[in-house]
Amino acid sequence: MPISALPTTASLADRARAALDRCRVAAPQEPAGAGGAARSPITGRELFALGHESAADVEQAVTEAREAFAAWRDTPAPVRGQLVHRLGELLREHKADLAELVTIEAGKIRSEALGEVQEMIDVCDLAVGMSRQLYGRTMPSERPGHRLMETWHPLGVVGVITAFNFPVAVWSWNTCVALVCGNTVVWKPSELTPLTALACHGLLMRAAQEVGAPARGLHRVVLGGREIGRALADDPRVALLSATGSTAMGREVAPRVAARMGRYLLELGGNNAAVVAPSADLDLVVRGSVFSAAGTAGQRCTTLRRLIVHEDVAEEVTRRIVDAYKQLRDRVGDPFAESTLVGPLVGERGYAAMRSALERAAAEGGQVLVGGSRVLEEEAADAYYVEPAVVRMPGQTAVVREETFAPILYVMPYRTLEEAVELHNGVPQGLSSSIFTQDQSEAERFLSAAGSDCGIVNVNIGTSGAEIGGAFGGEKDTGGGRESGSDSWKAYMRRATNTVNYGGELPLAQGVSFL
Ligand code: NAD
């Protein structure tokens, strides 16, 4: 039996208002235009009306961000880091408030919502460290009396487009790093998560006031639909557009930015797989797979969607995963309830995509082994709660090669590691991957250039739940961007190569003589 008592829409609206008010500064930025609304997938209903902005608001926001850039660019990077340090402190203080909004707007269970805010706090710490480490290199010059070096400078206005499923963490990956690098930010959050966006903006503005950073124009939120994203893509003053969402979105945004010679950073859809070798520790496989495949109701970019299992262990692995999924059936429901592991899908579109994928999988020779049903329909007719599904597939058919943003795990057999890698790489997307094996040689082959073609390649853990210290992103239709850790800050800066002549002579490079 799923968890049946759901909170009322009115109580969710009250909780959302209260959490938002605690995060904002005295004069909140309220969008003026009509037509928007805050909603919750918990009941599928509107919480309250909210302003909706237009392309003209983007124009104004970019103008202000461009003006603020001049002063922010000249602020020393470690001083810029103090703003992000203060933001990190405020996030610690308001962790519960932001998590509350993430649960209300994105439907994440409490522990995952708190985890997402923790990720923001971790990113703040990382970005503060970066603010003292925006290193350039020096190279030996071929000319006597010369010094050759690289310096890194801010880009200007960074536009950030984010998806509903990580409504705060992805903002922080981009914004904390962009700010310490000396950029100003205009953010277009998902139209499904405006309240979390206003709360993040409120906390950042409070941090700016407290550390004496220029509050006006340093960061702006523009609420609205894809027309806002398009306006950001087309504005030549937006030096970098960092866009996170579906591959379909990236396909439209990237050519628009490229047409004006702008820069873009894309974090798009995934279709992530794990290979289970015969030597694998099956306890790890089951726990790692169930969390990666069913967690967040299958709505992570890194969700495990394909399990490629060696035929010697396929039956046992499938049986154990199906058994684990049967336990999940009682744990679908109100994401605020302690016992819930699977909250709602974000909306009707996700549910329709899941139904259609299951029908296509059956038509392509698949067999649903567990799950797939909608539950709690009587309690909340406008909300979409589903039992996560496991589908046995004869091979990698057309539906398996697509990302369906819902909890469906396709299980397929393999015989040789070469075959497993071919299946693994045989999809358009390239975000996250894993191999479960106790055989070091197999693990190394999967990690090598001839192995997984993804941006994230793991051994003996699932595909989801990445740490912020590593660069995050994927290849092929996932867009090729890298955000968060390692040297991904370089995407938010421009590089200048400098040659300094302190020798008093003027030797030319490559031995050229002239005059
Ligand atoms: P979506 O593409 O529908 O929307 C994402 C954002 O892009 C929203 O703010 C939306 O308003 C905007 N947008 C959509 N179409 C646009 C257009 N044509 N021009 C400009 N802006 C546009 O995605 P979603 O449903 O919110 O999120 C789920 C998708 O995001 C999945 O495909 C998931 O894999 C992907 N995702 C990827 C990552 C990653 O880091 N790789 C992280 C989170 C989500």
Question: 440-462 burial string, b = 16+ CB within 10 Å, else e?
Answer: eebbebbeeeebbbbbbbbebbb
**Confidence (pLDDT) at 27:** 46
| Helix and strand totals (H; E) in the chain | 14, 23
The tokens of 299 are what? 């709505």
CA distance 390 to 394: 13
CA distance 169 to 116: 6
Same domain? 242 vs 173: yes
Above 80 in pLDDT, residue 29? no
Cα of 393 from ligand 1 centre, angstroms:
28
Q: Is residue 502 part of a domain?
A: no
Alpha helix ranges (H) inside 54-164? 55-73, 77-93, 95-106, 110-130
Above 60 in pLDDT, residue 31? no
Give the domain range for residue 62. 9-268+484-496
Integer CA distances (angstroms), 447 to 430, 433, 436, 450, 489, in order: 14, 10, 12, 8, 25
Same domain? 233 vs 328: no
**Confidence (pLDDT) at 24:** 86
* Atom 43 in ligand 1: residue holding the nearest Cα: 301
The catalytically annotated residue of 112, 191, 267, 442 is: 267
Same domain? 110 vs 210: yes
Q: What is the mean pLDDT of residues 459-486?
A: 96
Q: What is the mean pLDDT of residues 49-64?
A: 94
**Confidence (pLDDT) at 215:** 78
Q: Is residue 509 part of a domain?
A: no
Q: Is residue 305 part of a domain?
A: yes
Same domain? 134 vs 208: yes
Question: 94-112 burial string, b = 16+ CB within 10 Å, else e?
Answer: bbebbbbbbbbbbbbbbeb
Q: What is the mean pLDDT of residues 75-86?
A: 98
Half-sphere exposure of 345 (CA within 13 A, CB side): 29
At residue 35 the predicted structure's pLDDT band, cuts being 50, 70 and 90, is confident
Same domain? 424 vs 313: yes
At residue 34 the predicted structure's pLDDT band, cuts being 50, 70 and 90, is low
Above 50 in pLDDT, residue 247? yes
The pLDDT > 70 percentage for the chain reads: 97
Cα of 163 from ligand 1 centre, angstroms:
4
Residue 190 beta carbon below 6 angstroms from any ligand 1 atom: yes
Average pLDDT of the chain, as a whole number = 96
The tokens of 285 are what? 């496989």
Q: Residue 241 forms beta bridges with which residues?
A: 159, 264
Number of domains forming the structure of the chain: 2
At residue 1 the predicted structure's pLDDT band, cuts being 50, 70 and 90, is low
Cα of 261 from ligand 1 centre, angstroms:
22
Same domain? 170 vs 140: yes
Atom of ligand 1 nearest to the CA of 270: 34
Same domain? 263 vs 279: no
Same domain? 33 vs 92: yes
Q: Is residue 512 part of a domain?
A: no
Q: Is residue 97 part of a domain?
A: yes
**Confidence (pLDDT) at 28:** 46
CA distance 30 to 25: 12
Domain CATH number, residue 55: 3.40.605.10
